[in-house]
Amino acid sequence: MLTVFSGFPLGPATLPGDTAPLAARLPLTYEPLLPLTRTVQKAGAVAVGVEWKNRIRVLVAECIPASDPVGRISRDGWRIAQDTLKGVEGLSLHAVQTLSMDDLREAVSEHSPDLLIISAHGTLVANTAAIVIGDEPHVELGLQHTPPVIVLSACHVAPRGSSAVSIADLLLREGALAVLGSQVPVDVRRNMMLTGRLLTNLADHLINQGRHATLLEVWHHTQTTTDLECVMSSWRLAPEAGAGEAAVEDAGAVLELA
């Protein structure tokens, strides 16, 4: 694997002699570079791990109103995912409507998820990348107990190259061990396919113990398919359609590990 301490989006880069982006060659993660003092402190800290063997609790927090076309599509996608995975022993998938910060915090406290998926619109406010909950942008969540893994199913919430303050970086400060977020606008329909594939691979991990050693391997296996072309094509052809969901390393998403 490769850990990148940089504001440059290295994952989509194709090295000389290669035919695929670097992120397709090996698992790649980013670490926040700034503030540098905190980064050095984290690098010297003892690594914390979480073991997922017999149980994975997933909570989907739907922050987009049902009146929004993107919200309707994402809700349909979560229902399909629930129906598909309902027979997997050890995997629970709950979808909750959270149209305010209080709703989100209450849902997280009630379900205590191992994996939190926040389905929201992403927004850029000045030099800050945030998510929109209901109709208000938020760059911090202030959860009482931050889940170890958070997936930000939203557009451009972890941009690189602009020195933006992003919610993805700040969630690591709040205690998350890994954050998955997008660097570019993405199409909600393409994203639902990708997120469903990630959840399916997590279910496979429970069924076939030992196939993947880490969550990073599961994600790398998920992304090294046709997702790069799917997401990048939808972004190039219809960027306005990306007002919704989530995350591909190849297309600019970032898996950040504390």
Domain boundaries, the chain: 50-257
- In this predicted structure, the answer to whether residue 127 has a pLDDT above a threshold of 80 is yes
Mean pLDDT calculated for residue range 192-214:
87
Tell me: the pLDDT tens digits for 160-174? Answer: 876 678 899 889 888
Give the model's confidence band at 80: pLDDT under 50 very low, under 70 low, under 90 confident, else very high. very high
Query: What's the whole-model pTM score?
Result: 0.82
Tell me: the pLDDT tens digits for 222-248? Answer: 887 655 555 555 544 444 434 333 333
> How high is the pLDDT of residue 150?
95
- In this predicted structure, the answer to whether residue 153 has a pLDDT above a threshold of 60 is yes
Mean pLDDT over all residues of the chain?
82
| Fold adopted by 50-257 | Rossmann fold (3.40.50)
Helices (H), 135-176: 167-173
- In this predicted structure, the answer to whether residue 205 has a pLDDT above a threshold of 80 is yes
122 class by beta-carbon count within 10 Å (0-12 exposed, 13-18 middle, 19+ buried): buried
Long-range contacts of 100-106 (CB under 8 A, 24+ apart): 100/133, 100/134, 100/136, 101/133, 101/136, 101/138, 101/141, 101/142, 104/61, 104/63, 104/133, 104/141, 104/143, 105/141, 105/142, 105/143, 105/144
Tell me: the pLDDT tens digits for 57-73? Answer: 999 999 999 999 999 99
> How high is the pLDDT of residue 225?
65
The most confident of the ranges 8-17, 44-53, 69-78, 203-212 is 69-78
